[in-house]
Structure 1
């Protein structure tokens, strides 16, 4: 049996990154070139001590993965500016909330407060470029999952601000592949308390659990495990509930980086915030 070539060994070693790249391009309809840079950025995060970042992203449903892509692209834009871009809220078209990294920070060992951290950090740009050159050009091949036949292409510069290929993706913009394999978490889910949201309704206008589950699963993918509604006496209406998510990583996604998020479900309002266990609350 012939021994593996250096290229084949590299591809086998980075199978996870290669599979995620194919999922981004083929299942989630992303442009291949910026996705190579996104993978390179995530590889740099792992090399900087944020271990298992890519594996944990890979275990998430498609709409959530696109949120991580969106944040990675924002960081790449700052790297491309090399410190010359505008500060938050000073004309770059984004406010402070949009510049934070609610999804990415969930998987980091040390929080990054703002994408502005990457402005002017030449060493980060060098690290990401190294991952792009040494790994992504070789293993992130768009045509097939076989060994790429041409990996000697000239290294392109990181996509600059305003480049059309770095237009931030949104969940609604990219249809999911209905034939794609379902996502399966690679670890046992944490206790319910750590992946729950406390939900409240307008007094006199509760929302049933089926409508809540249908709404959030349709917007964010299959993210809700169960919904529990306040246990009330006959003739009374519930005013709160608890929504258990399949992954704790979904909490900042649903809240969009805020402490409280407001939703409109079939004409009725629902507020969500991080769940804090309380013995005074009871659910049916």
Structure 2
């Protein structure tokens, strides 16, 4: 049983250990004897600061429960390997916006550890050599840690991180996780009920606007439709010159001419619009490995935030229960891209607590008929 916490680090030496490569990631936390019996109340009380940070992540910031436990486990590992003294207690004193930003960077670090090839990770997430993806974590560790250094020591880090997650976080956060799960379910029910009520009100308003008064003084769409049918029947019965044979009916007017534009010319290879035209209004999205996200989640998030801007979303085609790691989001207009990317080359979003990177789509070269993903920069 791991009996470690941010609160226990206060007894450590006041000076930070020297940073010398892989040795800096040695896991040096000490644990009590396995024969020691600790009650649940004592265990939770000892980890009250860790529990406080976890509660803020899931209740205040609305982040994913499992991901939040991993974030706190990562901070505990930083403390016990000597890279960030009392970091959990320090974070609890900071604003929610800062905590959320640091948590996003932790997710980037954990995704980095999932890749055996660091170059592939950098390509998939759109990181170039000069891009600083974890500036806040570097600040917390006095510029000692970088993503490349994390990856070089991934085995030691995963070992210590997993130990903190399994022996501390999963046990200390069990009751909070259950409460957060109930809270999220109840919140979802309330939101769905609110949407249903808004839809009903909208339908009732639409019905009242299109209501037509009948001869009895009442108003209803049904009575108006019935009056129209009766009037048509009466007109046809009194019109003796009306044609009775289908062969004598006048021919229908010719259809209007079709003007071929890039948006109306069919693309036989798949899709009803010109590929080149859609490229200029496409955003490339990259998802975090281990945190699956669905197309409805992506569409709902961007629609709520930016309005009706999405034309179509193409998720990565996967087999079985595999997770899509990227998607192409085609907008109605390319003029929305700078707004959605906040004027930067790439922007990051948090969708239901899951990290998503967005950037302007750029085609690599001629599209392969057998592998659509091969023609996109940054695709796995």
Bin of the TM-score, shorter chain as denominator length: 0.3 to 0.5
TM-score (normalizing by structure 1): 0.47
TM-score (normalizing by structure 2): 0.36
Instruction: From the CA coordinates, give the structure whose radius of gyration is larger.
Output: 2
**Which has the larger helix fraction?**
2
- The structure showing larger relative contact order (alpha-carbon pairs under 8 Å, at least 6 residues apart) is 1
